[in-house]
């Protein structure tokens, strides 16, 4: 008799108790080291329970610092409490990466309010009225806009949402904006800025100590008991902390390490698996950052990684030596050659500089102003990740 192909997979030994709990989507019920932010946010939102409009709130901090988790957590608690006490508070979460225009955000909100109806195709004004109708029933409405910097016409969205408050005598609309881009705030229309940022909260990165606690807590929930060595947790925390203090990377390390264990039939996560997971997670992070970049920007980054591999280092006139540092100008020249050889257009040097600034913002490269020993004013550019990996990944990306 032939064996069902799933039988073997199903019976396979695993170190996981519940694998879902170490995926990035999962929000744990307890958020360590964010008590202050939770309390502060709770205080701000509590006004809605008394039937008042709460201040709009803007959260920022790097990726994996718990912004989304805290926001979801507090809003959920608010809604739970509201239901229990029979109060008129309503909330909604929108990820603006998927809903990246005023219209799409409004559609998403209204669809959450009226799940059985479909508003796709209706005019923006109609959808907006629908939203106000809802608030007119005396609802205090809290909208969480995650990755709010991705909205194309953000000024108008914020304006529309806040304008609602003037037209309503009962009920209100409050906004919680989340962003990991600090610069973005300064590019906003001053009016938008002042209304969105009535209150602000900063989320600092976690340090190694804090990450260790977080991972310990997750490991206990997600893995079978005694399947994860404590030294492995320490290592994962240390690795994530020196990279960025990003809890998401730290958790991903644990997840991939566990998967590596399962694959080779081992029943214990040790330093060895974490080390191997590190390279895998790094690749995933690089790929997720790189794949959405414009083609020309990919060429620029590819050029930087190629040159980094070719050159051993720059000797300054002062005698000190630095590894893997490139001049802005030489990159642009090489970029033109590479783009040409791919029969691609070539961007102007001005726009190239713009791309360089963006790459720095994403943390893919580091730049420093040329100081003593270098003639003229230029930027010295250094890769933020392993050159070989970036070139390898980009090579595939550019090919298609």
* Contacts with DNA, residue ranges (CB under 7 A): 103, 123-125, 152-153, 294, 296, 317, 327-330, 332, 345-351, 353-354, 356-357, 371-379
Nearer to DNA, 46 or 291 (CB): 291
What radius of gyration, in Å, describes the C-alpha atoms of the chain? 25
The first and second tokens of residue 337, run together, are 């050659």
> Which is nearer to DNA, 294 or 395 (by Cβ)?
294
> Is the CB of residue 229 less than 8 Å from the CB of residue 268?
yes
Residue closer to DNA, measured from CB, 279 or 354: 354
Q: Min. distance of Cβ 324 from DNA in angstroms?
A: 17
| Among 259, 262, 293, CA closest to 277 | 259
Q: Which is nearer to DNA, 45 or 347 (CB)?
A: 347
Q: How far is the CB of 337 from DNA (least distance, A)?
A: 15
- Closest approach, Cβ 75 to DNA, in A, equals 27
DSSP, res 310: H
Reported as half-sphere exposure (CB side, CA atoms, 13 A), residue 147 has a value of 13
Q: How far apart are CA 324 and CA 307, in angstroms?
A: 8
Q: Cβ of residue 379: shortest distance to DNA, in angstroms?
A: 4
Q: How far is CA 346 from CA 173, 338, 349, in A?
A: 46, 10, 9
Q: Least distance from C-beta 174 to DNA, angstroms? A: 24
Instruction: Give the whole-angstrom CA distance, residue 83 versus residue 90.
Output: 9
- Would you say 182 or 202 has its CB closer to DNA? 182
Are 66 and 119 in contact by the 8 Å Cβ rule? The answer is no
Report whether 199 contacts 47 (CB < 8 A). Answer: no
> Which is closer to DNA, CB of 264 or CB of 375?
375
The distance of closest approach from Cβ of residue 51 to DNA in the complex, given in angstroms and rounded to an integer, is: 33
Q: Among candidates 66, 48, 14, 95, which has minimal Cα distance to 203?
A: 66
Q: How many residues does the chain have?
A: 400
Minimum distance from CB of 3 to DNA (Å)? Answer: 51
Question: At its nearest, how many Å lie between DNA and the CB of residue 90?
Answer: 25
CA distance 303 to 310: 10
Q: How many CA atoms lie within 13 A of 210 on its CB side?
A: 18
Query: Among residues 114 and 126, whose Cβ is nearest to DNA?
Result: 126
- Between 81 and 126, CB nearer to DNA: 126
| Angle formed by the axes of helices 295-310 and 387-399, nearest 10° | 140
For 208-236, letters b (16+ CB in 10 Å) and e give bebbbebbeebbeebbeeebbbeebbbbb
């Amino acid at each position: 008799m032939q064996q069902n192909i799933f039988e073997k997979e199903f019976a396979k030994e695993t170190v996981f108790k519940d694998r879902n709990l170490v995926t990035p989507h999962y929000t744990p019920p307890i958020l360590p080291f964010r008590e202050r932010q939770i309390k502060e946010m709770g205080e701000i939102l509590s006004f809605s329970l008394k039937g008042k409009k709460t201040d709009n709130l803007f959260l920022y901090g790097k990726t994996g610092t718990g912004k989304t988790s805290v926001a979801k957590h507090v809003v959920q608690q608010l809604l739970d409490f509201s239901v229990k006490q029979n109060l008129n508070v309503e909330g909604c979460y929108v990820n603006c990466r998927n809903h990246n225009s005023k219209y799409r955000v409004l559609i998403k909100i209204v669809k959450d309010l009226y799940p059985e109806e479909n508003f796709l195709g209706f005019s923006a004004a109609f959808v907006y009225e629908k939203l106000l109708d809802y608030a007119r029933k005396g609802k205090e409405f809290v909208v969480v806009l995650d990755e709010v910097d991705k909205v194309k016409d953000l000024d108008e969205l914020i304006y529309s949402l806040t304008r609602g408050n003037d037209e309503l005598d009962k009920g209100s609309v409050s906004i919680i904006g989340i962003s990991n881009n600090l610069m973005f705030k300064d590019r906003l229309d001053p009016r938008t800025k002042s209304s969105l940022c009535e209150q602000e909260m900063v989320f600092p990165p976690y340090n190694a100590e804090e990450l260790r606690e977080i991972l310990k807590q997750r490991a206990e929930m997600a893995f079978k008991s005694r399947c994860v060595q404590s030294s492995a947790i320490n290592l994962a925390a240390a690795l994530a902390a020196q990279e960025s203090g990003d809890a998401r990377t730290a958790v991903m390390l644990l997840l991939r390490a566990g998967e590596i264990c399962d694959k080779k039939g081992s029943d214990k996560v040790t330093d060895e698996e974490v080390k191997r997971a590190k390279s895998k997670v790094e690749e995933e992070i690089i790929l997720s950052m790189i794949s959405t970049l414009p083609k020309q920007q990919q060429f620029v980054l590819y050029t930087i990684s190629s040159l980094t591999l070719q050159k051993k280092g720059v000797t300054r006139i002062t005698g000190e030596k630095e590894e893997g540092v490139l001049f802005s100008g030489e990159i642009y020249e090489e970029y033109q050659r590479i783009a040409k050889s791919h029969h691609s257009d070539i961007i102007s040097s001005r726009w190239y500089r713009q791309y360089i600034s963006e790459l720095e913002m994403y943390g893919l490269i580091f730049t420093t102003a040329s100081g003593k020993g270098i003639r003229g004013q230029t930027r010295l550019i250094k890769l933020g990740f392993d050159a070989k990996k970036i070139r390898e990944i980009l090579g595939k990306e550019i090919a298609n």
